[in-house]
Every structure is written in C-alpha cells, then in structure tokens.
Amino acid sequence: MEKPPIFAIPILDQWLVHSPLHEVTALVNSSALACLRTASFEKESTLAELHAELSAAPIHLPQVKQGPFDPKFLAIITTRGCNINCVYCDFGGPTSARVHMNPALAVEAIDWMAQRLVERGRTEFFLHFFGGEPFISGELVEIVVHRTRAMCARYGLKPVIDVSTNGVFNESRANWVGHYFDSVVLSFDGPPEFQNRNRPANGGGSTFEAVSRTAERLSQTPVELCLRVCVTGESVQRMEEITTWLVDAYHPAVINFEPLTENDLTSCSDLHGADPYDFARYWMAAKRAADRCGVRLVYSATEPGAPRLSSCPVGSDAVIISPDGHVNGCYLQPQDWLKHGMNMELGRVTLGAGLEIDSYQVEQVRKLITDKPRCRGCFCQFSCSGGCHVSNTYNGCSDDYVAFCLQTRIITACLLLEEMGCSQFVDALLADQTAMQRLATHSWDPVDLGTPGAAKGLAA
C-alpha cells in the first residue's frame, strides 16, 4: 500500500473525514475540507492537528497473509443436506443429499489442526460447524465436539466452539448445545409470517414453533445466542419491532440482520430484497432499540474491529472441510466459485495422512481478496471489504455500487457519526432521502491532503 487512504464522505452539508488506518474520523464543513486538501491552516489550529494525525504513520496496515499456511480456524461442514426448505438457501440445503462426513475424516482434521496450533504457540482452538444443517449429523457433531475437547485437554488449548444452525431439533439437543458450545448463530427470521414464509419445513409446514422453542431453551443456558434474521422487502419496515420482540422473548446476546440476497430460488418464491435505503434506515432504528436493551445488533459488513481485507474466512487460511473431505477456503459450494473462474480448494483430508495442503492454491486464495475495482473509491474498503468475494466482488463484476454497497455505506457512516456523538446528524441524514442517496452513490471517497508549507493562508 503506497499511502494510507483518507476518505471524505458527504453528510448533508458537511463532510465526514475518515481514515480507518489511522483510526481518525472528523466531521468538517466544506471550507475546512478544502483547507485540509490544500494544507491551508494556521499552526496549532484544530485543522493542523487533524492534518498531522492524518499524515502520520498509520496504526493499521492490513495485508494479504504471507508465509507458510497458518490456520487459526477449523470449520466442519458435516453435511450439505438439511431438514428444512429455506426459499433463499444459497448453500444447497433443500436439494443436497443427506450425505454425512465420515467421522474418521473429521478426527484426522481435528488432530491435524490441534498439532498445527500447538506448533505455532496458539492458545485457542476455534471450531465452527456449518451445513446444510449440521445437527442432522447429530452423532458426528457429538464426536467432533468431544474429540476437539479431548485434544484441547491434551495440548492445553482452550476450545471455542460455535455453530450456524436452523434450530429445528429437540429440547435435549438444545440443552446439550447450550452447554457444549460457546456461541450459536440461530437463523430465525422473526414472527411466524416471516419465519414460515422464508424458512418452511420440508413439505411446507411451520418451523416457527420448533425454532422458537430452541431459542427459548438456548437462552436459558450459558451459550452466547446470536439470532440471525434475513431481512426481505416484506420484513424490512418491521426490523425495530422484531428487535424488541426478539430481545423480550429470547434474551439474545446478539441480533444479526442481514439483507436477503436475491437468487433464482427467491425469484421463484416471489421473495424480494429490501430497498437498500429502507434497510439502512430501519437497521439504524433497530440498532438503537437493541442498544437500549443492552443487546449487540450487527450487520456483517460493518462489524467493528481492526481494518480488514476480508469480512469472511476467505484469505485468512481458514480450514473449511466439506463432507467429502475437500479442504476449502470458503463455505460456498464449488459450482459457486467455478462459475466466476475461482478455485477455493486448498487441499484434501486423507485417512491416515492428515491434511494435504497445496501451497500454490493457498497463495491464490490469499490473493483473491485484494484489488477489487468496485471498492477502490469506497471508504468501506477496510470494513466490508467487498462483502462476499464469490457472489459480490468476483473478478469481472461490475465496477458500480450495488444495493449491498449502498446500504453498507449509509450504515457505516451512521455508525461512525454515532461513535463521534453526532446522533443528530444521523437523524437528519436518515430523514433526508436525497442526502442518503448522495452519500450512498458518492463514487470516489479518497482525497489527497496537501503538504503544510506548500500553501499559505486560511485559518481554521
């Protein structure tokens, strides 16, 4: 990276100056922005101070991983099959065969991972279950959890185990999950009219009661409960109400609202994505409702934390094992990558031989997260990082912002403003459609700062 980028984003008649790599954000008027760009300010003024902070060496310098393969995270896809029939499923759940991973392959992967972690002096073993629906491979999940805990006990590692699940299982299973897992991401689209419309049982029946029971049971256990809600055009205006209801009924630690990604399946079901401006507006209302209850409300593209080049495991040397033993760098299925000319396969698990990792492929997958033409002018490039590398910012995608970008830009700006204590600007922005559009569609955020001494003149 040549020079850490400084961004200026229009907020009503002001400008949000933001440098994620310096952890600096300021709200300035147009004159002040012009002064920063020409370095025209008095010594020891506020603008001089801001200019100096933005010109200093950055605190963060996110980079593509280099060196030997260095996994910190193991994900096991126990099966691609599923016990319900979500109309928007991107992971093949409703149509995939219920083929379960051979437990011996899972054990090979766990043992290999534990040894790598110990060799690198790590102290935690992060394990994630994914599907399909992982718990239709219930015994396999039990084997994997216990084998992981046994290996962690042997090597003095702390197990950190989580799962993404639809929650359609019995109370006994819920109780076990609540005590053996650290966190559960439970997909739950809200009241029956949304849950049953979007996430029906096989055959079309209701899943609401089963998932509600699971959420209630989990909320009575030590596990961190995250309720993940897919927001559609039908539910977007009810996000605040859904938030309050979820908090009262299930006491989650986290609520995660993600917008529906339209695909062929959703078209067949006449299910449509939310308007990005509505999503941003109602997400912020929901966030404030959640904040009042002490619950964390998240949207994956704006997760706080250090600047990053990827908002998912791709590029982080994550080890994601598919049911047939392929080791991939992404949760999606091979046909999803291949149609965009990508190959996320990193290697294979072989019985008796552990994991064989292809170092050339590791380098290729690491590089996939960089150089996103669509993101070059966007101030969210170190937070949302382009979203899904496979379905959103794949090589050859349009350079123009899409709905995902528009809502992400608005929400990110609002969160930065709230962090600065400028809630009144958030209110005014969200009430002004034209101002929201100006911010959302602003195609080039980076600005150059002038060099002090090169120009003389204006006071701050």
Residues that bind another protein (CB under 8 A): 103-104, 106-107, 111, 139, 142-143, 146-147, 149-150, 152-154, 158-159, 172, 176, 179-180
Least gap, CB of 350 to another protein (angstroms): 16
Instruction: Give the residue among 59, 72, 68, 66 at the shortest CA–CA distance from 382.
Output: 59
Task: Read off the tokens for 198.
Answer: 């979007």
CB 7, CB 26: distance < 8 Å:
no
Of 181 and 394, which has the nearer Cβ to another protein?
A: 181
Least gap, CB of 83 to another protein (angstroms): 20
Rounded Cα gap, residues 349 and 112, in angstroms: 10
Of 151 and 435, which has the nearer Cβ to another protein?
A: 151
Least gap, CB of 226 to another protein (angstroms): 20
Of 146 and 367, which has the nearer Cβ to another protein?
A: 146
Of 169 and 283, which has the nearer Cβ to another protein?
A: 169
Of 73 and 176, which has the nearer Cβ to another protein?
A: 176
Least gap, CB of 176 to another protein (angstroms): 7
Cα dihedral sign, 180-103-126-159 = positive
Least gap, CB of 94 to another protein (angstroms): 29
Neighbours of 44 (CB within 10 A): 8
Of 182 and 262, which has the nearer Cβ to another protein?
A: 182
Least gap, CB of 146 to another protein (angstroms): 4
Least gap, CB of 154 to another protein (angstroms): 8
Of 120 and 179, which has the nearer Cβ to another protein?
A: 179
Of 110 and 380, which has the nearer Cβ to another protein?
A: 110
Least gap, CB of 33 to another protein (angstroms): 52
Least gap, CB of 107 to another protein (angstroms): 5
Of 233 and 354, which has the nearer Cβ to another protein?
A: 354
Of 107 and 455, which has the nearer Cβ to another protein?
A: 107
Of 349 and 413, which has the nearer Cβ to another protein?
A: 349
Least gap, CB of 355 to another protein (angstroms): 17
Neighbours of 284 (CB within 10 A): 23
Question: Quick one: three-class SS letters along the chain?
Answer: CCCCCEEEEEECCEEEEEECCCCEEEEEEHHHHHHHHHCCCCCCCHHHHHHHHHHCCCCCCCCCCCCCCCCCEEEEECECCCCECCCCCCCCCCCCCCCECCHHHHHHHHHHHHHHHHHCCCCEEEEEEECCCHHHHHHHHHHHHHHHHHHHHHHCCEEEEEEEECCCCCHHHHHHHHHHCCEEEEECCCCHHHHHHHCCECCCCCCHHHHHHHHHHHHCCCCEEEEEEEEECCCHHHHHHHHHHHHHHHCCCEEEEEECCCCHHHHHCCCCECCHHHHHHHHHHHHHHHHHCCCEEECHHHCCCCCCCCCCCCCCCCEEECCCCEEECCCCCHHHHHCCCCCCEEEEEECCCEEEECHHHHHHHHHCCCCCHHHCCCCCCCCCCCCCCCCCCCCCCCCCCCHHHHHHHHHHHHHHHHHCCCHHHHHHHHCCHHHHHHHHHCCCCEECCCCCCCCCCCCC
Least gap, CB of 144 to another protein (angstroms): 9
